[in-house]
Amino acid sequence: MPIVLGLVAILLLPSCGLFKKKGMASEKSNRKGEVTGAIDRKPWVQKLPIDMVAIQGGTFWMGQSDEDIAFTNSSDNKQITISEFYMDKYEVSNNKYRQFLQAIEDKTSPLKTNTNAPETAMKEPDFDVNTLKPDSTLWKKSYAYHYGDPLMDFYFDHPAFDNYPVVGVSYDQAMQYCEWRTYHMRANDDQEFDMPDFRLPTEAEWEYAAKGGIQQAKYPWGGPYVKNSRGCLQANFKPGRGNYTDDGFAYSAPVDVFEPNGFGLYNMSGNVAEWVLDAYKSSAYASTWDLNPIYLDKNEKRKVVRGGSWKDISHYLETSTRTYEYQNQGQSHIGFRTAMAFIGRSASMDAKLNKRIRR
């Protein structure tokens, strides 16, 4: 008898209560006198925007996976659950940021280009292009006794750097890029209902994504070393005690170099450090929830920066190391990437295919 019961349990296990979808009430005929939901609802599909990947939701240990060498006591371990979301494969490039500036600078070319698109619920944003240009002078100003002139002159404007990450943009500017990308997409999408906003990833989403599905990964490739088995460095940073070019690049590198992590994300560690949505508070983990946590504080001007950069030693490349910068201050080593919530979430959803997985 126990064997029979065991067999029944095994047979039931794969379904985990996820029975075959029987159809929504609204798909049934609207029988008089019955409540079946409103009829004639149009289907809606969340498209995967270009150069983004769908990050499967899950649970992970957020926080340091090695020694807290700076004794910041700011990233204690905590088990966190993250829902599915979309994230840019790459840091935002100079040329993508240029498209943003051109769209708002060129008054004859409205942001909305698809006149057949249904009215978006979003008001057309009002940007001032003069406040949005990357600050190229930072290449020279940020570092004492450093010859940054060639980068100051060429980095943002020259086609040679089109596929390099945009830098010298503040948190505030990155937020406006997200707002523009949201509007630009909605104004060109012919579905009746809007897609969710593009936004910066939350700090927890960023760390979960950086680990690439490897529990307590010190780096996006796992770790504990910065070199792979062939002896190659796996990110762009400052190896050794100042051997900047040991990884192939003295300053930043194109956004698509080095191997992507398990989620298909490039340069989560190194190249340029990245703004995330959260305000910085050293003790944030003690107060935020363990399900999709976020710490927002309008009065806190310090915003979290993650992943380390071309100018940092490997400690800052660790997936759990937290740093910050003031929200109105760009740096020549800080860029960003965007994210988007995935609607219709559940741990059993395949975000890429936008359908349930039977387990």
**Binding interface with Ca ion (CB under 5 A):** 236, 244, 247, 249, 267, 271, 307
Residues 6+ apart with CB under 8 A from 255: 90, 91, 93, 163, 164, 165, 266, 267, 271
**Quick one: 236 or 319, whose CB is closer to Ca ion?**
236
For 58, the 3-state DSSP assignment is strand
Q: Rounded to whole angstroms, how far apart are CA atoms 345 and 353?
A: 12
Q: At what angle do helices 94-105 and 171-186 cross, to 10 degrees?
A: 70
**Quick one: 198 or 249, whose CB is closer to Ca ion?**
249
**Quick one: 46 or 236, whose CB is closer to Ca ion?**
236
How many C-beta neighbours within 10 Å does residue 113 have? 11
**Cβ atoms of residues 236 and 246 within 8 Å:** no
Q: Tell me the closest approach of the beta carbon of residue 271 to Ca ion, in angstroms.
A: 5
Q: Which residue in this structure is represented by tokens 């979290």?
A: 304
**Cβ atoms of residues 204 and 294 within 8 Å:** yes
**Quick one: 225 or 244, whose CB is closer to Ca ion?**
244
Q: Tell me the closest approach of the beta carbon of residue 300 to Ca ion, in angstroms.
A: 23
Q: Tell me the closest approach of the beta carbon of residue 99 to Ca ion, in angstroms.
A: 20
Q: Tell me the closest approach of the beta carbon of residue 312 to Ca ion, in angstroms.
A: 10
Q: Tell me the closest approach of the beta carbon of residue 235 to Ca ion, in angstroms.
A: 8
Would you state the structure tokens that stand for residue 47, as one six-digit string? 């498209």
**Quick one: 56 or 236, whose CB is closer to Ca ion?**
236
Q: Tell me the closest approach of the beta carbon of residue 237 to Ca ion, in angstroms.
A: 6
**Cβ atoms of residues 317 and 270 within 8 Å:** yes
Q: What type of residue sits at position 30?
A: N
**Quick one: 186 or 337, whose CB is closer to Ca ion?**
337
